[in-house]
Chains A and B, each alone.
Chain A
Amino acid sequence: MKKNFLKILSPLLFFSYFSCVNSPTNPPSYSDIAIPKATPSALPYSSILDNLKPGTLPGSVTSPEEQQLIDLMNRKVNLTFPLKLGVLLLQENIDSIDNLKRKELLSKYIEHLKSNNNISDVIEIPSSLISRTSTIEDIRKLAARFQVNLLIIINDTYESPYNDKEKDLTPLEIISNINYFKTKSNMEVFVIDIVSGVFVLSQNISNSLEEKISLVEDYKIKNLLNKSIDKLWNDLKDFSSNKINELANKR
C-alpha cells in the first residue's frame, strides 16, 4: 500500500518542484532579462497613428512653419521683362533731412528707373499704407495690390554733420575758426519678388564725408549733408540700374 502511495506521489512531487522553480515567488536576476527600451513603438498604437501623415515617413514630420521655409527655399523667381517696379521709401524719424527733400530725391530716382529699357513702369507705394508693425508679408500683399513684379524697399538714415573734436588743428585753422565736420548717410535696399516672396537683392549703400568748415560759414555745414545725401541717392541709382540690367541679362 505504501509502495503504491509513493508511486502516485513521486510524479506529483516532480511536477510541483519544477512549478516552484519557475514560479514568481523566486524571480530570476534582472541582468539575465532583456528590458525593452522606450521607443516610439512602445507608445500606444493610437498616438502613433495620430502622428502619421499621408506621404511622410515616421520620424520625418515637419511643422507647418518648417514646411513654409522649405517651400520658400525651393521657390523659383521667374521675372518677366520689362518689369513693373514698386518703390517703397520707409517712413523713418529723420530730423536731419526735410521730408520735401526726400520726396524730391525719390521722384528723381523713380524718373531715373523709368528711363531704363528693362522697366515698363515704376509705381511709388505710399508708406502711409503700412504701419511700423507691418510684416514683410503685409508689404508683399500691398505691393500685389499695385500689381508690381518687384518691390524696392528703401530704408534711409542720415547723420547731421558734427564737429570732429578728435581732429588736430593747425594754428591757421584755429585762427580761421576752421573745424572738421563729418557726416554719414546710409541706405538699406531690399528687392523682393512679389509672386514668389523671395528677396532678389539686398544691399547696404553708405558714405561718410568730412570737410574743413569755418564756423562763420555755417551754411557749408548744411551743404556737407546735402552732398552726402545726393551722393547716396546717386549711388542708389547706379546700383539699381546695374542690378536690373544684370537680372535682364541672366534671362
Chain B
Amino acid sequence: MKKYIFKIFVISYLLVSCSINPASGQWENINIDKENNRVTTIINIVQTDNSFTGKVTTKKEKDNKIIEESQIDISGYVSGNILVIENVSQINSSKLKKSTLTLSSDKKSLTLSPGSIVFNKK
C-alpha cells in the first residue's frame, strides 16, 4: 500500500510540475549546414517557477560520423511563455546577445531568438 502511495505521489508530482513548468524537458533541432553536415542541437531545460537552467548540446555529423560535439550551460528567468537567457558558460571574453526561448501556445515547440531556430519537444 505504501509503495502505491509513493508511486502515485511521484507520477502526480511529475504531471503537475510539467503542466506548471511546460518548458521543462528535452527539445531538439536538426538541420543541414552549408557543408552538408547534419547538425543536431538539443536543449535540456529544467524550469522552476521564475527561473530555468539548461544544457545545450550540438553534434555535427558527416557521413554518420560525429565530427564535432560541444555543450554549454544556460540559465535565466521566465516571463510568461518566454525564457530569457541571461548566462551562458564558456562565453570567455565575448558578450552574450540578448536571447530568448519562446514556448509555442500548444507547448510543442520552443523558438530560439535571434535566428528563429525552432526546437521540437522530444
In the complex, the chain B residue whose C-beta lies closest to that of A214 is B68
B56 to chain A: which residues have CB within 8 Å?
A: 171-172, 175
A170-B99 in contact (CB<8A): yes
Q: Interface residues of A, CB < 8 Å — how many?
A: 15
B71 to chain A: which residues have CB within 8 Å?
A: 175
| Closest-CB distance, A192 to chain B (whole angstroms) | 46
Known: A174-B88, A175-B71. A167 touches B115 (CB 8 A): no
* B95 proximal to A (CB < 8 A): yes
B41-A167 in contact (CB<8A): no
A176 to chain B: which residues have CB within 8 Å?
A: 58, 70
A172 to chain B: which residues have CB within 8 Å?
A: 41, 56, 58, 112, 115, 117
1/0 per position for A158-186, CB-CB distance to B under 8 A?
A: 00000001111111111111010000000
What separation, in Å, do the CA atoms of A176 and B56 have in the docked complex?
11
* A33 proximal to B (CB < 8 A): no
* A216 proximal to B (CB < 8 A): yes
Partner of A168, one of B57, B95, B117: B95
A165-B94 in contact (CB<8A): yes
A216-B88 in contact (CB<8A): no
| Closest-CB distance, A182 to chain B (whole angstroms) | 14
B68 to chain A: which residues have CB within 8 Å?
A: 216
* B72 proximal to A (CB < 8 A): yes
A169-B91 in contact (CB<8A): yes
| Closest-CB distance, A117 to chain B (whole angstroms) | 42
A175-B96 in contact (CB<8A): no
Known: A168-B95, A168-B97, A169-B96. A175 touches B115 (CB 8 A): no
1/0 per position for A134-175, CB-CB distance to B under 8 A?
A: 000000000000000000000000000000011111111111
B95-A169 in contact (CB<8A): yes
* B93 proximal to A (CB < 8 A): yes
Within 8 A of A (CB), among B47-87: 56-58, 68, 70-72, 74, 85
B41-A174 in contact (CB<8A): no
* B90 proximal to A (CB < 8 A): yes
What separation, in Å, do the CA atoms of A167 and B71 have in the docked complex?
21
A171-B112 in contact (CB<8A): yes
A174-B72 in contact (CB<8A): yes
| Closest-CB distance, A35 to chain B (whole angstroms) | 79
A170-B115 in contact (CB<8A): yes
B99 to chain A: which residues have CB within 8 Å?
A: 170-171
In the complex, the chain A residue whose C-beta lies closest to that of B89 is A174
What separation, in Å, do the CA atoms of A15 and B51 have in the docked complex?
126
B115-A168 in contact (CB<8A): no
What separation, in Å, do the CA atoms of A156 and B99 have in the docked complex?
41
| Closest-CB distance, A213 to chain B (whole angstroms) | 12
| Closest-CB distance, B2 to chain A (whole angstroms) | 44
Q: Give the B-binding residues of A (Cβ under 8 A).
A: 165-177, 179, 216
Task: Give 14 A-B pairs besides A175-B41, A175-B70, A216-B68 with Cβ atoms closer than 8 angstroms.
Answer: A165-B93, A167-B94, A168-B94, A168-B98, A169-B95, A170-B97, A171-B96, A172-B41, A172-B112, A175-B56, A175-B71, A175-B72, A176-B58, A179-B94
